[in-house]
Amino acid sequence: MAFTAKRVVIVGAAMADRTGLLAEILGALRDAGVNLYAAAAWVKDGQAFFEAVPEDLNKLRQVAMRNGVSTTEKPAIYIEGDDETGALLPAVQKIAAAGVSMTGALAAAGGGKFGAVLETREADYEKACAALGI
């Protein structure tokens, strides 16, 4: 089960929820040519939350700045490969063998491929990256 791993950054934003907000965000990103490896959005207590893993971090930063949106950033690891049973297991086994606990994971598959975003504590990030050879 082969996979590739790369260092990425999860960019987050919180805004007051309103109808059409996600469409506005995705439209602004599309218009600026920002390709995303992953994105998640949810609403809690009237607040809309959006997290994205951009292919080009600087482009996303520019879109946020242009639209007056405050963002947060946290390091993560993006894993991708061919979709097969247990495809993500080798990567997370390497991280576990390095003594690193993950703090979050989001994975999806389709079209014969899979992608996953893995989070660790910031203090363990370099150790997790080293375990994956990145």
pLDDT at position 52 is: 98
Q: Where are the extended beta strands (E) located within the chain?
A: 3-16, 36-44, 47-54, 72-82, 102-110, 113-120
pLDDT at residue 8 above 90?
yes
What pTM value is reported for the model?
A: 0.93
Domain spans in the chain, listed from the N-terminal domain onward: 9-72, 75-131
* Integer Cα distance of 93 and 84 in angstroms: 16
Are 9-72 and 75-131 in the same CATH fold? Answer: no
46 DSSP 8-state letter: T
pLDDT at position 40 is: 97
Strands 102-110, 36-44: pairing is unpaired
CATH of domain 75-131: 3.30.70.260
Residue 4 neighbours by CB under 8 Å, 6+ apart: 79, 80, 81
CATH of domain 9-72: 3.30.2130.10
pLDDT at position 72 is: 98
